[in-house]
Chains A and B, each alone.
Chain A
Amino acid sequence: MLWIAVHFPWFGLEVAARGAAAAGRTGRSETGYDDLVKGPQKEEKKKKAEEKKKAEEKKKAEEKKIATGISLPQKEDLDQQQEQTPPPEPQVLIHDQQVIQCNPVARGFGIHPGNSLATAQSLAPGHLKHFHWNGEYEEARLAFLAEVLYRFSSEISPEMPDAIVLEAGRSLKLFGDLGRLSTAVTTTCEALGHHTRVRAAATPLAALALARSGATTLPEVPLQCLATGLQPVRASEKSTHEKRPGGRAPTRTLPNKTLPNKTIERLNNMGLTRLGQVLTLPRTELAHRFGYEFATYLDRLGGHVPDPRATILPPDRFDQSLHLLEPLRDKATLERPMHHLLNELGQWLIAHQLGAEALVWSFSAHAAQSRTCMPVRFARAQQQPRAFAGISLLKLAETPLPEDVLSISLKARRLKPWIAHNNSLFPEALLASASSFNPSGESATEPAVCIELLDQLGARLGESACVRLEALDCYTPETAWQPLSVSASPARHAPPVPPGRRPLWLFTPPRPVDEHELVLLEGPERIQGQWWTSPVSRDYYIASHRNGARCWAFVDEGDNGRQWYLHGYFA
């Protein structure tokens, strides 16, 4: 068993700033902080980071075995990279007028968790960006991320407030090695706009402790990190700066399997600040002094006692929404948040190996009072965000929206198992296969371009503006055909053969015409039928109109006398 813990150092901030990031209002892009640094610089930094990493790898290899018998394989260390590219704007997460999380820039201004908002604003005058903490969003987001990461492991559990634990041992063979797996995890999370710190260990608690502390070996882990999900920096602030009243919102009520603050305070008072110091102490005496809970915790940490986790089972539907910080009034600016959601949908679909045939967007202003639903249909199930985006944007241009859009939600409907198909390498090959004769007129699969065209036309012109035709075996001219929706399956039977000559242009309905304008050429052909609805009894003639057109005319012996009608042109 090998466990990977994914810790999100700025989770609260990232979740709160998500709406703003998506809308691009704070100058932040989907992938978060790194995007603000221009590409080449970033590349350079990556290289540097990699060099450092290589140098450190040797060290780490020696440290693999540690006292408790927990083996620590190689790790990907992304912290350096993160710390080298901080966002240029100080951001803090506040709750109850108190800073509970701040980004590195804000920390550079001297802002610390526990400061009041007023203090923070005076430290970074002018450009401090603050967000309000929302526990519900965080919880939902963590659950969503866990679903996304489900593709890496079947045993995965979110650890409130800011980490996810997943069992990696069984996935190693698939992903090659641990380094590759953790890189994949990191990339996935970063694509969704979250910074991660990934650590692996033999037990979930050890992995969590490492990930949350950022330490490389277990004995180095500060004890504070075991208590809460908060960063060690914040914990150390707590000891050096003003004391935060205990039990307030930042240290939210956590599920069990962590240490109570009191225990840690007692340990600290005894001079024990690192996990290594505690682990060297005899277990029985520790249990005696600190209680059963503490002993069990250490046992779980060391893997002496099983540590079952409540694993998640991903739901089989996608329903995500994005709450913007400022109302959007322009369709063009909606594009970015929509891409953001589609990106998430793409990840989700890959994780579930599904394709979606329909999407339902809904745009709502203040608290869902004016809500616009925008269903988007696809002729074939799609999985790629790019495919969704094009059609959705076409449809958006045709849809009236509420004045202000404050939240956008996206649901995936009509999910189908995803069957990946190969595109042909050359367009010519496609055309050649398309032109190959198909005797029955039906095809196993429509060429992809045909499907795409139908989607595009349907989105821009409306579902009904685009129809296909079918000939029916019916005697009266009006009922001998019907429009078919493009998604309908084509008729399998051959078209009926009409009993007489029929015009290529049909007038719907027939147009009255003056008898003197016509020169009758052929006819009559008596067409009778539909006695059960409106009886039709007409004599049809092929006639030449004075204007030169060859037309199909009939005479109707109605109550108002004889009236001639044109029913079509032999065009």
Chain B
Amino acid sequence: MTITTLLEHPDLWRAGRPGGGGASHRPAQPSRYPLLDQYLIGGGWPVGAVSELCFNQTGIGELQLLAPALATLSRQRRWIAWVNPPFLPYPPALAACGIQVGRMLLIQGTSNENPAVIGAASSRDLNLAAGSHSYGSHAHKPVDPRLKAHRRMLWALEQASRSGACSAVLAWLDERLITVRDLQRLQVAARQGNTLTWLFRPGEALKQPSLASLRLQLHAAQSPGMGLQRLKVDIVKRQGGWPVDGLILDLQRETTYIDRHQVMELLTFWRSEHQSVVLPDAAQAFSLPTTVQQRAMH
């Protein structure tokens, strides 16, 4: 065994190297933000681990940060689970980011403090479910409904991560009830299911220790122009590396959408010209819809 092979050992951490050393074998899902990928260990979001995103204000671009990765992941035949999201992940916007909406699985919490999500159809059922807990001798001693809802979501999150049926899980938990033990379980579950788990937490959560492989703090950054949105990312913790502060990411909001749109137009035109020709792989990658084609021909 030479010194070189020793130095390449995955467990050896080297401060001098970006990413800490021979940790490149760890599976990672590129975030497709070059600046961020450069600093994330393995070149992307750690797969089979929990990543925490801590920020205080919703709507600063936290989903756009994940969107490119989600777009890639949604092409797997596995689910992308949204556990207890605060608002509705809007399908047309997801689709515009190139995410396959059919792979999204929305798991809704029952707690009333999490308003919004789905319309009347589900809230009726939720009320029924809430009512049914209270009676019957088979029901055990009364549990705080908030705690109960938290446990259900935690259970759902763990199942989704552990089962291996989800390529990614995005979760919002009740921050007041979350414990270190819960986080520990989630980390194990993510490893078992080879799932990328993103946990969305408020900024205060950074004061508590966590077992997550990656912890990011997000701030809205001063926008350079009217339409552009910028996000400041601090890597508070990354497994196998020092913290990094102040990464400014331009959220390339339109690029994905315009690219996709233009490519579709081109393909449609091309296809109408060559009806009998089988599409090349690249064209299939954009899953050219028949509807668009029809629309274009009219």
Segment of B8-16, B30-38, B161-169, B179-187 in the binding face: B161-169
B154 to chain A, nearest CB (A): 12
Q: Is A114 an interface residue (CB 8 A)?
A: no
Q: Is A521 an interface residue (CB 8 A)?
A: yes
Most buried by A among B58, B59, B164: B59
Q: Are A498 and B92 in contact (CB under 8 A)?
A: yes
Q: Are A464 and B117 in contact (CB under 8 A)?
A: no
CA distance A498 to B96 in the complex (A): 7
CA distance A491 to B164 in the complex (A): 23
Q: Are A450 and B165 in contact (CB under 8 A)?
A: yes
Q: Are B118 and A438 in contact (CB under 8 A)?
A: no
Q: Is B239 an interface residue (CB 8 A)?
A: no
How many of chain A's residues touch chain B, expressed as a range? Answer: 35 or more
Q: Are A469 and B106 in contact (CB under 8 A)?
A: yes
Q: Is B206 an interface residue (CB 8 A)?
A: no
Q: Given contacts A438-B75, A450-B78, A483-B106, is CB(A522)–CB(B226) below 8 Å? A: yes
Q: Given contacts A465-B126, A468-B106, is CB(A460)–CB(B156) below 8 Å? A: yes
Segment of B18-26, B60-68, B208-216, B242-250 in the binding face: B60-68
Residue of chain B at shortest CB distance from A443? B77
Residues of B with C-beta under 8 A to A442: 102
Q: Are A507 and B92 in contact (CB under 8 A)?
A: no
Q: Are A494 and B90 in contact (CB under 8 A)?
A: no
Q: Is B119 an interface residue (CB 8 A)?
A: yes
Q: Are A481 and B291 in contact (CB under 8 A)?
A: no
Which residues of A, 518-571, contact B by the 8 Å Cβ criterion? 521-522, 542, 544-545, 547-551, 568-571
Q: Given contacts A465-B110, A504-B67, is CB(A449)–CB(B163) below 8 Å? A: yes
Within 8 Å by CB of B58, from A437, A471, A549, lies A549
Which residues of A, 330-347, contact B by the 8 Å Cβ criterion? 330-331
Q: Is A368 an interface residue (CB 8 A)?
A: no
Q: Are A480 and B91 in contact (CB under 8 A)?
A: yes
Q: Is A88 an interface residue (CB 8 A)?
A: no
Residues of B with C-beta under 8 A to A437: 75-76, 285
Residues of A with C-beta under 8 A to B4: none
Q: Given contacts A441-B102, A466-B107, A493-B289, is CB(A505)–CB(B125) below 8 Å? A: no
Residue of chain A at shortest CB distance from B90? A506
Residue of chain A at shortest CB distance from B139? A400
Q: Number of residues in B with C-beta < 8 Å to the partner?
A: 82
Q: Given contacts A467-B122, A502-B96, is CB(A548)–CB(B101) below 8 Å? A: no
B47 to chain A, nearest CB (A): 11
CA distance A431 to B106 in the complex (A): 22
A550 to chain B, nearest CB (A): 5
Q: Is A265 an interface residue (CB 8 A)?
A: no
Q: Is A440 an interface residue (CB 8 A)?
A: yes
Residues of A with C-beta under 8 A to B91: 469-472, 480-481, 495
CA distance A456 to B129 in the complex (A): 16
Q: Is A280 an interface residue (CB 8 A)?
A: no
Q: Which residues of A contact B (CB under 8 A)?
A: 329-331, 398-403, 427, 430-431, 433-443, 446-447, 449-450, 452-454, 456-457, 460-473, 477, 480-481, 483, 486, 490-491, 493-498, 501-508, 521-522, 542, 544-545, 547-551, 568-571
| Beyond A431-B194, A470-B101, A571-B60, 8 additional pairs, beta carbon < 8 A | A402-B136, A437-B75, A439-B287, A483-B106, A493-B289, A495-B95, A545-B59, A548-B60
Chain A to chain B contacts (Cβ below 8 Å), 20 pairs: A400-B133, A434-B78, A434-B167, A440-B287, A441-B102, A441-B103, A449-B164, A449-B165, A453-B163, A468-B105, A469-B91, A471-B101, A491-B101, A493-B290, A495-B101, A497-B96, A508-B118, A548-B220, A569-B58, A570-B59
Q: Which residues of B contact A (CB under 8 A)?
A: 57-64, 67, 75-79, 86-97, 100-108, 110, 116-119, 121-122, 125-126, 129, 132-133, 135-139, 152, 155-156, 159-160, 163-167, 194, 219-220, 223, 226-227, 229, 253-254, 257, 261, 264, 284-285, 287-292
